Amino acid sequence: MTETPFLALALLGERLEKTRKRLELAGLIADFLKGLGPEEIGPGVRLLIGQVFPEWDSRALNLGWRAVSKILPGLTAPSKDDLATIQAEAVDGGEWARLLLERARIEPPQPPPLPLWEVYRAFEEIAETAGPGSRRKKEELLNSLFLRAQPVEAKYIVKNVVREMRHGVSEGILLDAIAQATEVPKKLARRANMLCGDLGEVAFIALTEGQAGLERIRPHLLRPLKPMLAQMADGVAQAFQEHKEKTALEYKLDGARVQIHKADNEVHIYSRNLSEVTPSLPEVVDQVREEVRADSAILEGEVIAVDERGRPLPFQHLMRRFRRIHNLRELMREVPIQLYLFDILYRDGASLVDEPNRKRWRALQEVKGNLNSVARLTPRNPREGEAFAQASYEAGHEGLIAKRLDSVYTPGVRGKAWFKIKQTISLDLVIVAADWGYGRRHGWLSNYHLASRDEDSGEFLEVGKTFRGLTDKEFEEMTERLLSLEIYRREGTVYVEPEMMVEVLFNEIQSSPRYDSGLALRFARISRLRDDKSPEEVDTIQTLRELFNQQFEKKGRYERRKR
């Protein structure tokens, strides 16, 4: 059995941190993968990208920074000055661990050195530890790794615990590396990952079976696929033109996308991030069992919360259902939900992902029984499509999804086969703080705290954050400008003078206890800088409250039901 030292992965991470070019990143990873034994490939890939388990795997470490900050001080004896210096120098928890062990370790690392597979097995054991005393046992297992770890190894152990790698390696770069290491087409590696939802498995198959192995991958029942994604379009006319008039329009509901797997009488429901949410949606499980006319199927749909009149409620109320697994009966009465189906990917042993959209839609109608499907129209011209969009808005929905009729299902891909068409609102807001970025945005202030002004007090109140909408060059320029406005810092956040104005697009305003304003923007993104405006011209909290209330002219408003 090959025993690659965990140190090799840690040193690779250090090289990746210093590399910016995509091809060089992929090349370094490809060389590393080729040196792994078969049993190390899956664990090595997952530990490198900071996803200890596949996306569809429900296991979790259930440890975090609290455990790290509790264990490591017991192995070190830093002075107050050392701690202050380390805190100032460290850009994240992993770097803090490395510096602390380098400068203040009491005893050297215990032998023997850590093999890669043993670190992974320890993480598996941590995740599988449950019951009384499990917290103490988990911390003991983590401590046993730190006792044997070199400082740089501890850095990457911590990074996996807190899931913050900051080395700039995205899923796409890792797939490029797999393709480079095995000489398989990049497109095939990406498709395999879309169907597997596990970079470790894709790497293992590619390195042990090659192209033929990747080509054999098909959707698996009870293992969720990555969802196909949509690009934004300016309107129906753009989608109509891009799809060469062969488009279907569907209502875009303001709910939670779900993927439903039925295997005989067994039903499992997964969220768009591949987490299982079956226990939170018992009525959907019952409906699928009773209505779906197939022994096995993978269906896609949207779950929305509705009021007593059946009108859609704001998204945040639906999320209460997705977080609850106990005492559901009362919440089911308070927040009733409706399921609307829009796609089918698998039916009685046959994969449908490579079938055109029009054929999948017909198959969905054949199997859905009395379950709802989303409202759908195949327009003859953009004018019909615009009328359909207006009907969607009037019904309290977000807009439309335009789907090319001959498009196959491409899991995880955001292409032009699907377009989102939504009403957007714009406000002029001011940046009052920014967080340091990580990954590709490492070294830039790139998560901006947006604020509006209260007309009564004159105070700037936060209404959300966003890192969307800017290019790399703009992130760099924004960092320089914001640092020149710095007032003070706290942990990874730089607070600035409220002088930089931005135009922000968003889709909805939600109530939020997180901010003093009581409001939060949903899907906020910066469309442009407003250097032509001063902070005195910022949109006010009073304006946001008025917009918030206007939403309920079409949407339902949540009211706690009396017992």
The CATH number of the domain holding residue 22 is: 1.10.3260.10
Give the pTM.
0.76
Q: Are 23 and 156 in a shared domain?
A: yes
In the chain, what percentage of residues exceed pLDDT 90?
63
**Percentages of the chain per state (helix, strand, coil), in multiples of 5:** 45, 25, 35
Whether 326 has a pLDDT exceeding 90, the answer reads no
Q: Are residues 250 and 398 in the same domain?
A: yes
At 373, which CATH number? 3.30.470.30
| Strand 337-347 versus strand 372-373 pairing type | parallel
Q: Which of 87-91, 242-246, 339-343 has the lowest mean pLDDT?
A: 87-91
* Integer Cα distance of 416 and 418 in angstroms: 5
The Cα 504–Cα 543 span in angstroms is: 14
- pLDDT by residue (tens digit) across 262-291? 999 999 999 988 889 999 999 999 999 999
Average pLDDT, rounded, for the chain: 91
Using 50, 70 and 90 to split pLDDT, how confident is the model at 323?
Answer: low
39 and 148 housed in the same domain = yes
Token pair recorded at residue 513: 């206890």
CA dist list (Å): 229 to 29, 57, 241, 419: 27, 21, 19, 8
Whether 200 maps to a domain, the answer reads no
pLDDT of residue 9: 98
Nearest to 500 by CA among 516, 517, 480: 480
Is pLDDT above 70 for 562?
no
What is the CATH number for 485? 2.40.50.140
Per-residue pLDDT band for 560 (boundaries 50, 70, 90) equals low
> Which of the pair, 168 or 16, is modelled with greater confidence?
16
The predicted pLDDT at position 538 comes to 87
Q: Does residue 432 share a domain with residue 396?
A: no
The predicted model gives 154-181 an average pLDDT of: 93
Which pLDDT belongs to residue 455?
83
- 408 and 438 housed in the same domain: no
pLDDT number for residue 563: 47
| pLDDT at residue 405 is higher than 70 | yes
Domain boundary among 379, 404, 422: 422
CB 136 within 8 A of CB 158: no
Are 237 and 386 found together in one domain?
yes
Q: Give the C-alpha separation, 147 to 130, whole Å.
A: 23
Q: Is the pLDDT of residue 391 over 90?
A: yes
Whether residue 29 lies inside any domain: the answer is yes
- Do 510 and 532 lie in one domain? The reply is yes
Q: Is the pLDDT of residue 141 over 80?
A: yes
Chain segment 106-135, per-residue pLDDT in tens: 999 999 999 999 999 999 999 999 999 999
Number of domains in the chain: 3
What residue type is assigned to position 199 of the chain? L
Contacts for 191 with CB less than 8 Å, ≥ 6 apart:
214, 217, 410, 411
Residues 393 and 438 in one domain: no
Residue 297, number of CB atoms within 10 A of its CB: 24
Q: What mean pLDDT do residues 46-66 have?
A: 92
Q: Which domain holds residue 394?
A: 229-422
pLDDT digits (tens, 9 = 90+) for 291-321: 999 999 999 999 998 888 888 887 777 877 8
500 with 391, same domain? no
- Please indicate, yes or no, if residue 118 is contained in any of the structural domains: yes
User: Among residues 138, 159, 226, 252, which one is catalytic?
Assistant: 252
223 lies in a domain? no
Does residue 194 sit within a domain?
no
Instruction: Please compute the mean of the pLDDT values over residues 527-535 and round it to a whole number.
Output: 78
Mean pLDDT of 169-175: 91
pLDDT at 290: 97
pLDDT digits (tens, 9 = 90+) for 215-229: 999 999 999 998 998
Are 373 and 281 found together in one domain?
Answer: yes
Residue 138 bears catalytic tag: no
For residue 534, the tally of other CB atoms under 10 A from its CB is 11
Average of per-residue pLDDT across 437-457:
84
Query: Domain end: 130, 162, 194, which one?
Result: 162
Answer yes or no: is 216 within a domain. no
pLDDT bucket at 558, cuts 50 / 70 / 90: low
Q: Are residues 141 and 23 in the same domain?
A: yes
In tens, the pLDDT along 355-386 reads 999 999 999 999 999 999 999 999 999 999 99
In this structure, the answer to whether residues 414 and 429 fall within a common structural domain is no
On whether residue 214 sits in a domain, the answer given is no
Give the mean model confidence (pLDDT) for residues 461-485.
89
561 has pLDDT over 60: no
Last residue of a domain, one of 407, 422, 437: 422
Range scoring the smallest mean pLDDT among 29-43, 151-165, 368-382, 471-485: 471-485
